[in-house]
Homo-oligomer: A and B are copies of this chain.
Amino acid sequence: MGDSTKRIPQPVVKRLTRYLTQLQALLERGDEWVSSDELADAMGLSSSTVRQDISHLDFSGISKRGYATQGLADVLMRVLGADSPVNVVIVGAGNLGRALALHGNFSRSDIHICAVFDADPKVVGSRIGSIKVRPMRDLPKVVQANNVGIGIIAVPGASAQTVADHLIAAGVAGLLNLASTHILAPRDVAVVDTRILASLRELCYAIKVAPRGKSRT
């Protein structure tokens, strides 16, 4: 039985976000029930892990039938905080910042991008879709006025820490760091690094130690 008072471990939270994505796909297909085994198969896990993870939630499946897709999705939304909208700002109106601001998935979700900022006066004032790029000095004002919870850092590594400091000072509670450098933040500010370049390096290592064709033991 789930105990909503306990903090859910990070690896479990990571998987829960994936379950939610998967459940939403199942809902679109009209599947009313899903078993731990089906979920596990779809995401490359064992059914044991899935059940263990779900046991962190305040939600029960039914023997022989599995989990109610809609019900589980609802609980996950609530637990992950995906049921209440979050305001987000993006700093950096370069290619990556633009791509994120235009990314359709956000508009369909509870994540609302309410402003894009850039330090370059030449970029300030231009439009990304329906969003106007604003100067950095507006940051504190916008963050406070819109109760912005998350700042997305989409600037080169060299300025990432400075931008982070500004966002933290403005009052955001979480940072999504798209730059490749590590960011230092006080403990009460959550930081998630996407590290795309690092992921590529991981891949390079993986294909080096286990090239295709060479079967592993």
Structural contact, A102 and B95, CB atoms closer than 8 A: yes
Contact pattern, A 45-56, Cβ under 8 Å of B = 1, otherwise 0 = 000000000000
The verdict on A204 contacting B100 (CB below 8 Å), with A182-B22, A198-B17, A198-B18 known, is no
Q: Is A150 an interface residue (CB 8 A)?
A: yes
Q: In the complex the two chains form, what is the Cα distance from A179 to B22 in whole Å? A: 13
Given A42-B182, A98-B95, CB of A188 within 8 Å of CB of B215: yes
CB nearest neighbor in B for A177: B199
Contacts of A199 in B (CB 8 A): 176, 192, 194
Q: Which residues of A contact B (CB under 8 A)?
A: 7-8, 13-14, 17-18, 20-22, 25, 42-44, 79-82, 86, 88, 94-96, 98-100, 102-106, 109-111, 149-150, 156, 171, 173-176, 178, 180-182, 184, 187-190, 192, 194-216
Chain A to chain B contacts (Cβ below 8 Å), 29 pairs: A13-B202, A17-B202, A18-B198, A20-B201, A21-B181, A21-B197, A21-B198, A22-B182, A42-B182, A44-B182, A44-B184, A81-B205, A82-B201, A88-B200, A96-B99, A96-B103, A100-B196, A106-B197, A109-B197, A150-B203, A173-B211, A176-B200, A176-B203, A187-B216, A188-B215, A189-B212, A190-B207, A192-B202, A194-B199
